[in-house]
Amino acid sequence: MRLLLIADTHVPKRAKDLPAPVWEEVSKADVVVHAGDWVEPSLLDELEARAKRLVACWGNNDGAELRRRLPERADITLGGLRFTVVHETGAATGREARMAKAYPDTDVLIFGHSHIPWDTHTKTGLRLLNPGSPTDRRRQPYCTYMTATVRGGALSEVVLHTLERRA
């Protein structure tokens, strides 16, 4: 099962649309995961129409309509792995210990908010993934997104993809 992980798209404030390579990944993915900060519902509408399956939550920059349509926390089991999708996890310092305690029944926690890619494991085995942002790099050198594969009850082939800088 092929996954596309994105967050912090901020469409149309930071970009008019997702970059073409991300739309190409949407068409290849079995599941698209979006960890919040959509900003406007139009991208949600388009992803719902184009993705085979969408798992998503709202973020702190999302208004009433997005909060009505999306949960603050999305939980799903894919290929035997328990995933949780949230927008914010707090400060980077101590994140692994806090998240292991907050999500004891989760195998993979996908989050956003910082626009900073993150891929770590806790002592309990929880995998934390932040795909960064495909549209707003902030202080990062590149805009980013992730792809991953779920096979045989395990997460593999987790790849951080960088996008060309926009002028």
Please tell me the predicted confidence (pLDDT) of residue 166.
Answer: 56
Q: Residue 127 belongs to what domain range?
A: 2-163
pLDDT in tens, 18-44: 999 999 999 999 999 999 999 999 999
Percentage of residues in the chain having pLDDT higher than 90: 96
- Extract the tokens encoding 122: 């806790």
| CATH number, residue 43 | 3.60.21.10
- What count of other Cβ atoms lies within 10 Å of the Cβ of residue 119? 14
Taking phi over 0 as left and psi of -120 to 50 as alpha, with beta for the rest, 137 belongs to alpha
Q: Is the pTM of this model over 0.85?
A: yes
Average pLDDT on 86-92 reads 96
pLDDT at position 167, please? 41
Report the first-to-last Cα separation within the chain, whole angstroms: 35
For residue 165, the model assigns a pLDDT of: 63
pLDDT tens digits, one per residue of 108-156: 999 999 999 999 999 999 999 999 999 999 889 999 999 999 999 999 9
Mean pLDDT score, 94-99: 97
Question: How many domains is the chain built from?
Answer: 1
